[in-house]
Structure 1
Amino acid sequence: MTWNRHHILSLADFTPEEYNTVLQTAASFKEVLSRRTKKVPSLQGQVVTNLFFEPSTRTRSSFEIAAKRLSADILNFAASSSSLTKGETILDTAKTYLALGTDIMVIRHRESGVPQAIAAEMDRLGKRVGVLNAGDGQHEHPSQALLDLFTICTLLNPDAPKCELLAGKKIAIVGDILHSRVARSNIWSLTASGAEVHLAAPPTLLPPEFAQYVGSAERLKIHWEIEPALDKADFVMTLRLQKERMSQHLLPSLREYHQLFGMTRDRLRLCQPDVKILHPGPVNRGVEISSDLMDDPAFSLISEQVTSGVAVRMALLYLMGSSSKIGGTG
């Protein structure tokens, strides 16, 4: 396996070979996580800085434990207690952590393009610092889509997860697609893997021109009713209603949304008998998905997603750390 990508900012230009490298590397780290001693010295001596400019529980904790399992030194940044409150710019904050010896920056920000701007500044300065996008605005969330891909492919073949396993599979993505960086990244990864992706949401959360936002894909279908998206679906990804990103009233009520687009046992009957449900979290119980379905291990992969996230983020940090040593590009 080879890896020449120095930054991980978007999945738009990922190749099937790169997806498979991540999946195979994550599979090896998942095995490490099952051991009594869950630590390896892969990034010993390297510094991973988590620059999270917006609140996060799962993603930040997942990256932190992933870096610790790789024996990296970790620096954590919190915007509310930082010099940003005194007027320092984001780029100056990044340069401060660069001066502290950071090798990899994991960046999350509510505005699109911030990780790209920091990566460009590191490149301009000629520094071999890798930048990993942990979610930026309504743009992308690469590591979430990769852990979703790993969760699904591991279910299909635990011994040899690879993206080709999704060829011909029907995957429905349901929910607040307009505001979802997770949906955008998943569209790239799933269509590149050969899956048929069906998007379903109210028109206010899934405008007709949405396909143009992510690049028109042959295997991408749009529905404003949930039933055709679920028809014979192999997997269903439900998305959180991101009320904090909505600048206007786009839904009559949460109750009506659940009635029309919420995942329930009755709606599962439209899908394949062995359908599985995913959700990036946090979940609004009784809105995007019924509580009983969320907690049912026969259908729900939500807990597996969280566990997979550590292995996948270990893989990404390891690959980026290895790239910085050999002088990878991109």
Structure 2
Amino acid sequence: MNIKTEKRAPAELKARPNENELGFGKIFTDHMLVMAYDAARGWHEPEVRPYAPFSLDPAAMVLHYGQAIFEGLKAYRGQDDGIYLFRPLANLERMNRSAARMCMPQLSVETAFAGLQALLRVDADWVPRADGASLYIRPTMVATEAGLGVRPAKEYLFFIIMSPVGAYYPEGFNPVKIFVTDTYVRAVAGGVGEAKTAGNYAASIMAAVEAQKQGFTQVLWLDARERRYVEEVGTMNIFFVFRDRIITPPLSGSILPGITRDSVLHLLADWGLPVEERQIAIDEVLAASENGELLEVFGTGTAAVISPVGSLHYRGQDCLINQGKTGELAQRLFAELTAIQHGRAADPYGWVIRL
């Protein structure tokens, strides 16, 4: 499809923020990509246009029945001043899997990616040059048909907005403190836990707020049936580094199949490090920490890339990980992934696309 472009007038362009004070998700670029769908025409009229509010009918079905999915990826500024995307097609393919689970229409990955590239070219100056900063990209799909009744909508809106960001966590790359909850559950196999749908995140907010009030950065979720087995952190998949192996929970239908998680698994395999994708009970984690077998813990995700975990808090007890310091493997993975993402290192996997 032809992608129409309407640029904001030069006098209306936003002032550029201080790249060393970006935070996360607070500032948005001048433009966005928008594309509509209806049952008769399918996806049509993709357009890059000035960033602005949408007008939705009060009966728009997303507001009542929650058909909303999204993705998160980043654009990076390379040393050659080029713009690099890390596995963008994997994000769009995962979005289609989320769409299928939520009975929403499939995107043409080719068209969506062409639209993303067109948007990036218009707002290329927004990709930060500061160390550690990047341009966060949020593709989203919502049901816009006006109507009441629990069924798949017949009209949808796909859009992409972008935000220059710094570190996701206030700690930056320093280890974070994690609260392990067995009071609340996030998802169960057979539900929508493996889809990147808005309701999953709404359901996680109460536990996150309670954890943050106690001084913790994020929540570690346990399985919904037994509340025993580790699943994922609120915004990350999780890895446990033992003396003789690395363990991460399997993709069993209740956790998000993270693209950074998959990238880490590829790197670990190429480095010859033994990895087990299996259930791991929180009691096994705590026992391994107590007897010195657990060396480090880290999370993986687009927002933070690699996030070392300094402590776990479970049932009133604190479990210190690696003396609260960043582990060697987390540091190595972070250095390797960020070097690939910025075009500084060889990319044998074909993960990076230069704009």
Q: Fold match, TM over 0.5?
A: no
Give 1 or 2: higher helix fraction: 1
Structure 2-normalised TM-score? 0.27
Larger radius of gyration: 2
